Structure 1
Amino acid sequence: MVQAQSEAETALKEVQNLLETQRQLIKSGKLAADFTYRLDGYENELNKLKTKWQNTKNIAENSEYYEIAQEEFNQVTRDAGELKSRIQEQIPSPEENKIETLPTTWANIQPDTVYQTKACMLVSFSNKQIIFATTKDRDGNHLRAIDKGEVPPQGHQGLVRSEEPGFDFKSKVLSKKVSHYRFHGKMIDGVLHFPGKVTNKK
C-alpha cells in the first residue's frame, strides 16, 4: 500500500514538474504562447488526479478498504503516466525550443547553461558542481540519473526529493563507485539548478 501510494504521488509530481517547465519555456519565449491553453487543460486534469489521490489516501486509513485503495493508487499512477505522455507528445523538440539536450558527459556541460532532459525538465549546473562531478562522476552516472527525472525513492536511479533545506531534488545512482554521493538541486524559475551542493552517504 505504502509503495503504491508513493509511486502515485511521484507520478503526479512528475507531471507537475513537466507543466512548470513548459510554462517557464513560454515565459522565456522558447515555446509558443498559444501552448498555454493546452497547459491549462492539462493542469485541470492533474488537479483531478491530485484530488483522487488525496481521497484515496483518506480511505486507505481504513484497513477495510485496503485493496480498493491500492487499486485506486495504481490507477492514479497509470493515469498520470498517460497524461505525462500526452503532454510530452505536444512539446516541440529541444532543437525547436532552441534549448540544448543534456549532454552525456560532464566535459560537455557548460556552467549556468540551461539544458533539457529526457524527462523534459530544464536543468543547469554551476562551475563548482561541474568541477566536482568531472572528478567524482567520470562515467556520467549522475548525469544519466538527472536525465531520467524523478523516480520513487527506493530502488531506483534518478531524481528523488532532497532532504536538504532549500533544495528540491537530489540525484541518486545505484553504481557502487559513486552511489554514496548525492548532487542537490533547487528549482529557480522553472529550472532545476545544481549549485554544487553534494552530500556523502558513507
Structure 2
Amino acid sequence: MTTEKMTIHKALCELKTLDARITKCIGETEYVFANKHSNDKVNGMTVAAYCDEIKSGYQRVTDLIKRRDAIKRAVVLSNAVTKVTVGGKEYTVAEAIEMKNHGIQMLQTLLKRLERDNRAARNEANQNNGEMLEMRADEYIKSLYGNTDMKNASEDIKKTRADFIAAQTFEIVDPIGIKAEMERLEKEINGFMVDIDSALSVSNALTEITVEY
C-alpha cells in the first residue's frame, strides 16, 4: 500500500494534472486488436512485445486512476470535517464550497427580486398618489358637482373629495419588513463573498491529508 501526506492545496493541483494525464493515457493505447494469424509483428514489434506494451499502458492508466481516486477521496473526507469561518459564520469546507458555487447565487437572486418588487411597489404608489391623485379627485368632484371652487366648497363636497382621496391612496403593504430583509441579505452576501476565497486558500494551504492506495 502507498501512503503519502500532502496539503489540500497540493492535492487539488495534482488532481488537475492527473485528470489530464489519465485522459491522455487512455487515448494513447489500443487495448485489444485484430491480427492476421500469419503476422508475427505489429507496429514493428513482435506480437508478444506489443502485448506487453499494451499491458504496461493499461497498468499506467489504472495506477493513475487509483491515485486520482485516493487523492479525491481524501480531499472529500477532509472537506467534510475541516471548519472555516466565512462572514462570521462557521462552515465545513464542503459547506462553504457548496455555498460559494450555488447557495450564494440563490441569495443574490432573492435579493434582486426583493429590490425589484420594492422599487416597483414604491414607483406605483408614487405615480398614483400626490399630484396625480389630487387631479383625479378634482375630476371626480367635477363629475359630481360641476366646476367647483374647493376653497369655498361646502363641507359635504370637501368631505366627498377627502373620502375619494382616502379610498384611492396607494399604500405599501410590507408583510416581511422588506427594507430590513434587503439589508440583512446584502450584509450576508457581501460578508461571504469578501471572506470565502481567502478562507478556503488558507485552509487548503494548512490542512494536511493522508492519501492511501
Q: Shorter-chain-normalised TM-score: which range?
A: under 0.3
TM-score (norm 2): 0.26
Using the size of structure 1 for normalisation, the TM-score is 0.27
* Structure with more contact order per residue of length (Cα contacts < 8 Å, sep ≥ 6): 2
Point out the structure with the larger strand share.
1
Relative to total residues, which structure has the larger helix share, 1 or 2? 2
Q: Which has the larger radius of gyration?
A: 2
